[in-house]
């Protein structure tokens, strides 16, 4: 259900541009997914042959911890009354960090240079760090290279892509409870009638170090665990994939969820500005592009009040769902539009007044917040009208000794510590994780025939050590890691240099990790000409961070994304002519 008009109030408040804290974001799906596939050309020369003997590296004396591999299988999926036969390829591509040179070097010259520069590493001073990036690609049978191709990934940072793969768009889907803890195994893996294979070929990618992906070499964490090196690795992967499978001329899309959305913003700018590879569309699910807007702990950033304003509609939706509001609100969308107007109007002005806000107005605002959130007026006043996400989740259902979910506030679980100021865990993550981990492990080994003895890493704990330093377009040096990252300029730059690029924002009303209205606010504050705003569309769902955790929302998500791909893959630029002169 599209509600972009209802969100026009988002530009009523100033931007959050301050620095000083790194927003906390859970590493969930965030937390927060044998024959040749097609007439593919030979693998590029810098890719190791999958049939290369294991002792080649030893014989050559080079550090080569990984080699490109693949396993091919076949299957079919029923979508919208049609059966689609496909080939699945589970494989790895070897990716090097920025600064790696694939031109062969003269070993004698290298030795001479090494004697003059003892600190140099690797052959020809190449960094030795490298990543083996795991993917599962699905190709519709008898479809040519002009078929759309979508690259999908979850976020974290530190999350594998099993969530989008097994919960949203792969040909098989795990069945889970709608808003409660899914009982233990055995789990049900069923035909996914909402798979995107009816609209596009699909490539699910595990970030370096997650899932079946691995990293190795000197300073490997530094080489891949950060905003910019992570996006570079994905750009390298995509470039290699397009070559390996002959898909350079396919309509191309990025689909990122949670931290996958800032990855998409940086990645699309790298692809278009640095590699001259235009994409047809970027699809964002559960967006956060400016970490200053995170509702997790804005109390660490006093003076920046926009996070309290943009999260208020999510508080209202959550209180509505759990029956904590007085009165009747039969139309959720209309109710939330009312809350948005208050949030960016009277509430924003009250917070901007700070200590100058008169006592009577403070009380009136607190009463209105109670009406929209169900929290006690006394609690709201004691919190100085500012309640962060963890406090809200701990307090909303305190009378029942229940903690409200973060990734999906429809979920609830028993309090870990009833006296805690903030919630200690996320009931939604606990409710679904076992089903996804078990289902993907079984599916990958039984149906995809991938490495039975290799461990699958659903997530890795790298958020606190992740390098959030980022060089925005045209900026030198990068913003330091201790500052709150903001990649709005990256997406805006990509849309400016490719004014035909289309963007779709998908968000759930019950997402308290990346609130839906926060995404709207970010889009309305992209630093680009206003006319490019028409390239952005908005879709909202009665679900949470993982929109697809609710069956009806999954069907709607499929329909919206499939329509977006079909529409944007058929458009042609106005006019005609050859390549520009060089």
> How confident is the prediction for the chain on average, in pLDDT?
87
The pLDDT of residue 50 = 41
Q: Identify the residue whose tokens are 């009040």.
A: 305
Residue from 285, 173, 197, 209 nearest 513 by CA: 285
Taking the C-alpha atoms of residue 252 and residue 242, their distance in angstroms, rounded to an integer, is 10
Which residue has tokens 């690029």?
501
Question: Any idea what DSSP says for residue 136?
Answer: E
Q: Are 318 and 510 in contact (CB under 8 A)?
A: yes
The CA-atom distances, in angstroms, between 427 and each of 78, 158, 393, 395, 418 are 33, 20, 10, 15, 15
Q: What is the pLDDT of residues 388-438, one digit of tens each?
A: 999 999 999 999 999 999 999 999 999 999 989 999 888 888 889 999 999
What pLDDT does residue 114 have? Answer: 54
Q: Identify which of 515, 556, 579 has the alpha carbon closest to the alpha carbon of residue 336.
A: 515
Average pLDDT over residues 123-135: 84
**The pLDDT of residue 582:** 34
The CATH number corresponding to 4-141+148-292+435-569 among 3.30.70.1400, 3.40.605.10, 1.10.10.10, 3.40.50.1820 equals 3.40.50.1820
Q: Give how far Cα 247 sits from Cα of 36, 232, 454, Å.
A: 15, 20, 29
- Can you give the pLDDT at residue 514? 97
Separation between Cα atoms, residue 165 and residue 183, nearest integer Å:
21
41 pLDDT above the threshold of 50: no
- Residue 54: pLDDT above 80? no
Q: Which two tokens stand for residue 308?
A: 């309290």
476 burial type by CB count under 10 A (0-12 exposed, 13-18 middle, 19+ buried): exposed
Q: What would the mean pLDDT of 195-200 be, rounded to a whole number?
A: 98
In whole angstroms, give the CA distance from residue 202 to residue 560.
16
What SS3 state is found at 115?
helix
Question: CA-CA distance, 558 to 551, in Å (whole number)?
Answer: 11
C-alpha atoms less than 13 angstroms from C-alpha of 62 in its C-beta half-sphere: 20
pLDDT at 343: 98
Taking 60 as the threshold, does the pLDDT of residue 528 lie above it?
yes
Lowest mean pLDDT among 25-29, 91-95, 228-232, 270-274: 25-29
pTM over 0.95: no
pLDDT at 430: 86
The arithmetic mean of pLDDT across residues 470-489, rounded, is 83
d(C-alpha 447, C-alpha 442), whole Å: 8
Identify the pLDDT of residue 110: 56
Closest CA to 94 of 128, 119, 117: 128
Q: What are phi and psi of 360, to 5 degrees?
A: -65, -40
Q: For residue 433, how far is the Cα from the chain centroid?
A: 17
Instruction: Give the tens place of pLDDT for each residue, 1-16.
Output: 444 444 444 444 443 3
Cβ partners under 8 Å of residue 571, min gap 6: 280, 500
Q: 236-286: per-residue pLDDT in tens?
A: 999 999 999 999 999 999 999 999 999 999 999 999 999 999 999 999 999
Residue 109 is predicted with a pLDDT of 61
Residue 318, token pair as written in the block: 């959550």
The pLDDT score that the predictor gives to residue 298 is: 87
What confidence tens digit (pLDDT) does each residue in 156-191 have? 999 999 999 999 999 999 999 888 899 999 999 999
| SS3 state at 247 | coil
Q: 26 pLDDT exceeds 50?
A: no
* C-alpha span between 330 and 246 (Å, rounded): 52
How far is Cα 174 from Cα 168, in angstroms, rounded to an integer?
9
Dump strand ranges (E) for 32-188: 70-79, 82-95, 130-140, 149-153, 172-174
Give the mean model confidence (pLDDT) for residues 434-460.
94
Residues 27 and 460: their CA atoms lie apart, in Å, by 8
CB contact at 8 A, 323 and 412: no
**pLDDT over threshold 60, residue 504:** yes
Pairing of strands 70-79, 82-95: antiparallel
| Mean pLDDT, range 476-503, rounded to an integer | 89
CA distance 128 to 96: 8
As given in the structure block, the two tokens for residue 163 are 């969530």
Q: Locate tokens 């591999």: which residue?
A: 69
The SS3 assignment for 508 reads strand
> What is the predicted pLDDT for the residue at 18?
37
| Strand locations in 293-380 (E) | none
Peptide bond into 186 cis (omega under 30): yes
Query: Which residue(s) pair with 470 in the sheet?
Result: 479
Which DSSP string corresponds to 434-461? HHHHHHHHHHHHHTS---TTSPPBSB-S
Query: CB-side exposure of 519: number of CA atoms within 13 Å?
Result: 33
DSSP state of 580: P
Looking at the predicted structure, is the pLDDT value of residue 43 above 50?
A: no
State phi, psi for 174 to the nearest 5 degrees: -85, 135
Cβ neighbours, 10 Å, residue 114: 16
- With beta carbons less than 8 A apart as the criterion, state whether 257 and 29 touch: yes
Helix (H) or strand (E) holding 541: strand 536-541
Q: How confident is the model at residue 107 (pLDDT cuts 50, 70, 90)?
A: low
Domain extents for the chain?
Answer: 4-141+148-292+435-569
């Amino acid at each position: 259900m599209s509600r972009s008009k209802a969100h026009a109030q988002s530009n009523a408040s100033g931007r959050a541009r301050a620095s000083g804290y790194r927003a906390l974001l859970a590493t969930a799906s965030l937390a927060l997914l044998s024959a040749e596939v097609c007439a593919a050309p030979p693998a590029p020369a810098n890719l190791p042959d999958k049939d290369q003997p294991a002792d080649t590296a030893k014989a050559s004396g080079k550090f080569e911890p990984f080699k490109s591999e693949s396993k091919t299988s076949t299957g079919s999926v029923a979508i919208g009354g049609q059966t689609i036969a496909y080939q699945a390829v589970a494989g790895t591509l070897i990716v090097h960090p920025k600064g790696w040179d694939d031109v062969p070097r003269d070993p004698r010259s290298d030795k001479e240079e090494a004697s003059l520069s003892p600190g140099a590493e690797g052959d020809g001073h190449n960094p030795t760090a490298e990543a083996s990036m795991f993917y599962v690609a699905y190709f519709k049978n008898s479809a040519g290279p002009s078929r759309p191709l979508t690259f999908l990934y979850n976020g974290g940072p530190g999350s594998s892509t099993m969530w989008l793969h097994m919960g949203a768009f792969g040909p098989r889907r795990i069945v889970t409870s709608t808003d409660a803890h899914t009982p233990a195994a055995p789990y049900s893996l069923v035909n996914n009638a909402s798979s995107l294979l009816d609209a596009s070929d699909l490539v699910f990618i595990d970030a370096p170090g997650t899932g079946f992906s691995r990293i190795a070499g000197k300073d490997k964490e530094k080489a891949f665990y950060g905003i910019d090196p992570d996006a570079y690795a994905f750009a390298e992967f995509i470039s290699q994939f397009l070559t390996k499978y002959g898909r350079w001329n396919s309509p191309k899309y990025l689909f990122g969820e949670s931290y996958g959305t800032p990855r998409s913003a940086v990645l699309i700018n790298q692809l278009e500005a640095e590699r001259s590879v235009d994409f047809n569309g970027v699809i964002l699910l559960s967006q956060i592009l400016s970490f200053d807007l995170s509702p997790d702990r804005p109390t660490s950033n006093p003076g920046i009040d926009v996070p309290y304003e943009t999260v208020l509609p999510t508080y209202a939706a959550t209180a509505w769902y759990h029956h904590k509001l007085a009165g009747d609100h039969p139309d959720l969308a209309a109710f939330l539009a009312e809350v948005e107007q208050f949030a960016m109007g009277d509430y924003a002005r009250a917070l901007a007044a700070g200590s100058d806000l008169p006592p009577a107005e403070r009380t009136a605002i607190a009463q209105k917040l109670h009406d929209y959130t169900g929290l006690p007026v006394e609690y709201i006043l004691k919190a100085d009208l500012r309640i962060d996400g963890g406090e809200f989740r701990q307090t909303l259902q305190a009378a029942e000794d229940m903690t409200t979910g973060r990734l999906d506030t429809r979920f609830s679980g028993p309090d870990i510590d009833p006296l805690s100021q903030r919630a200690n865990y996320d009931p939604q993550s606990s409710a679904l994780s076992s089903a996804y981990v078990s289902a993907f492990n079984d599916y990958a080994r039984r149906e995809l025939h991938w490495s039975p003895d290799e461990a699958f890493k659903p997530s890795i704990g790298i958020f606190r050590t992740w390098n959030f330093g980022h060089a925005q377009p045209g900026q030198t040096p990068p913003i330091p890691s201790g500052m709150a990252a903001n990649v709005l300029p990256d997406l805006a730059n990509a849309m400016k240099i490719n004014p035909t690029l289309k963007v779709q924002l998908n968000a759930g009303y019950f997402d308290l990790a990346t609130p839906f209205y926060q995404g709207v606010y970010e889009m309305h504050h992209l630093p680009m000409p206003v006319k490019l705003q028409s390239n952005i569309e908005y879709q909202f769902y009665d679900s949470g961070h993982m929109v697809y955790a609710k069956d009806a929302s999954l069907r709607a998500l499929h329909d919206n994304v499939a329509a977006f791909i079909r529409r944007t893959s058929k458009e042609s630029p106005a006019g005609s002519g050859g390549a520009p002169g060089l």
